[in-house]
């Protein structure tokens, strides 16, 4: 009887220890928080395996609240402590994931803004810009002022062309863009267009970039995934 009791106690102890390990693993997983997209006063996070958009001042739960956000980073109050997180940062690490290889990020999600457009931040040749997704645009298109900001010598190296717009025919310069990074998803040698008299602060993310991806749209969020 004593031997049986010892075996039962040992079994109970093992089960209890296993349960503690299992519970701790779940808690660590549930506390996992990653920033996967940054916007002005909003972020898209991945938490407990699910994506969610948070706006400035909103709380995910009683322990996590978004204080501020822009295209460069975000500030949270997590467990009562101020925590700064950038793109791909984890709650448990302030080191950006895939920082050395941003092209390894194969999928991004872009929320629809209040104007009914899909807008996100990124960069062209390493220079920060804002993008508007435009499936009706053949190329990644930008104004002359934006091209100068990016540092494109479009009049020297671009192929001159004429583009038909709602305002009539206008001069355009076509040239490859070395790197186009949209919210962490990066493609190289994407053809772009610099459009004369274009009055837009954002860059139109056209099909020269989008056709290299798989696109899905649920009406609120557009998901772009690299083709393998």
Architecture of domain 33-97: Roll (2.30)
CA–CA separation, 139 vs 154, rounded Å?
15
The pTM (predicted TM-score) of the whole model is: 0.55
Residues 111-157 pLDDT 10s: 888 888 999 999 999 999 999 999 989 899 999 999 999 999 999 99
At residue 162 the predicted structure's pLDDT band, cuts being 50, 70 and 90, is confident
Decide if 42 contacts 68 (C-beta within 8 A). no
Domain-wise residue ranges, the chain: 33-97, 103-226
- What CATH topology corresponds to 103-226? Cathepsin D, subunit A; domain 1 (2.40.70)
CA–CA separation, 136 vs 183, rounded Å?
21
CA–CA separation, 74 vs 66, rounded Å?
8
Number of other CB atoms surrounding residue 37 within 10 Å: 25
Average pLDDT score over the chain: 77
Decide if 74 contacts 68 (C-beta within 8 A). yes
The three-state secondary structure class of 92 is: coil
Can you give the pLDDT at residue 226? 87
């Amino acid at each position: 009887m004593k031997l049986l009791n010892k075996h039962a106690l040992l079994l109970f102890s093992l089960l209890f220890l296993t349960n503690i390990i299992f519970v701790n693993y779940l808690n660590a997983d549930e506390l996992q928080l990653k920033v996967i997209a940054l916007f002005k006063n909003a972020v898209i996070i991945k938490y407990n395996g699910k994506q969610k958009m948070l706006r400035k001042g909103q709380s995910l739960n009683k322990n996590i609240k978004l204080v501020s956000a822009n295209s460069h980073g975000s500030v949270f109050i997590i467990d009562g402590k101020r925590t700064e997180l950038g793109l791909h940062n984890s709650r448990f690490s302030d080191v950006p994931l895939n920082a050395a290889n941003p092209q390894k990020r194969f999928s991004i999600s872009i929320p629809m803004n209040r104007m009914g457009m899909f807008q996100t931040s990124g960069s062209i040749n390493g220079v920060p810009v804002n993008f508007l997704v435009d499936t009706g645009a053949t190329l990644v298109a930008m104004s002359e002022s934006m091209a100068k900001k990016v540092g494109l010598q479009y009049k020297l190296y671009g192929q001159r062309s004429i583009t038909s717009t709602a305002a009539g025919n206008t001069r355009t310069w076509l040239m490859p863009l070395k790197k186009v990074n949209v919210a962490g998803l990066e493609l190289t040698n994407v053809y772009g267009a610099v459009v004369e008299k274009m009055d837009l602060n954002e860059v139109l993310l056209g099909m020269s970039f989008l056709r290299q991806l798989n696109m899905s749209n649920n009406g609120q969020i557009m998901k772009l995934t690299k083709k393998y």
